[in-house]
Structure 1
Amino acid sequence: MARPREFDEAAVLDAAAQCFWRFGYEATSVKDLTEKTGLTAASLYNAYGDKRGLFRASLDRYVSESIGNRLRRCEALPPFEAIQAFFDEILRRSLNDRQHKGCMLVNSALEMAPHDAEFQQIIASVLSSIESFFLGCIRTGQADGTIAQSLPAEVLARHLVGVLMGVRVLARVRAEKALLEGVVAPALAQLAPLRDDPV
Structure 2
Amino acid sequence: MARPREFDEHEALTAARDAFWRDGFAATSVQDLTEATGLGTQSLYGAFGSKHDLFLRILDEYGARQATGLESAVTADPSPWHGLKAAVTFEDGGRLDLPEQGCLMANSAAALSTQDDEVRARACAAYTRTLALFTQQITEAQERGEIDRDLDPEQTARALIAVMQGIEFLHKSGIGDDEFGRTKDAVLHMLERAVARPDGR
Which residue is 2:187 aligned to?
184
Deviations 1:6-58 (CA, angstroms, capped at 9, x unpaired) = 32222111111111111110011111111111111111111111111111111
- The AA in structure 1 aligned to 2:161 is V
Q: Percent identity?
A: 33
Correspondence 1:70-89 to 2 at 5 A: 70-77=70-77, 78-89=79-90
- The AA in structure 1 aligned to 2:184 is E
Query: CA 1:5–1:126 in 2, change beyond 3 Å: closer, same or farther?
Result: farther
Correspondence 1:37-52 to 2 at 5 A: 37-52=37-52
**TM-score (normalizing by structure 1):** 0.85
Q: Is the 8 A contact 2:89 2:167 kept in 1?
A: no
**Greater length-normalized contact order (CA 8 Å, ≥ 6 residues apart):** 1
Q: Say which structure is richer in helix.
A: 1
Hey, which bits of structure 1, 4+ residues long, moved more than 4 A? 1-5, 90-94
Whole-Å separation in 1 of the counterparts to 2:24 and 2:70: 23
Deviations 1:40-86 (CA, angstroms, capped at 9, x unpaired) = 11111111111111111111222222342232343243311221231
- 5+ unaligned residues in a row in structure 2: which ranges? none
Correspondence 1:46-195 to 2 at 5 A: 46-77=46-77, 78-89=79-90, 94=96, 97=98, 100-177=100-177, 178-179=179-180, 180-181=183-184, 184-186=187-189, 188-189=191-192, 190-195=194-199
Which residue is 1:12 aligned to?
12
- The AA in structure 2 aligned to 1:82 is G
Figure out how many residues of one structure are paired with residues of the other and give that number.
195
Whole-Å separation in 2 of the counterparts to 1:36 and 1:191: 47
Whole-Å separation in 2 of the counterparts to 1:51 and 1:164: 31
- 5+ unaligned residues in a row in structure 1: which ranges? none
Whole-Å separation in 2 of the counterparts to 1:187 and 1:104: 28
**TM-score (normalizing by structure 2):** 0.84
Deviations 1:124-161 (CA, angstroms, capped at 9, x unpaired) = 00111011111110001001101223421111100011
Query: CA 1:36–1:175 in 2, change beyond 3 Å: closer, same or farther?
Result: farther
Query: CA 1:158–1:17 in 2, change beyond 3 Å: closer, same or farther?
Result: same
Question: SS of 2:26's equivalent?
Answer: coil
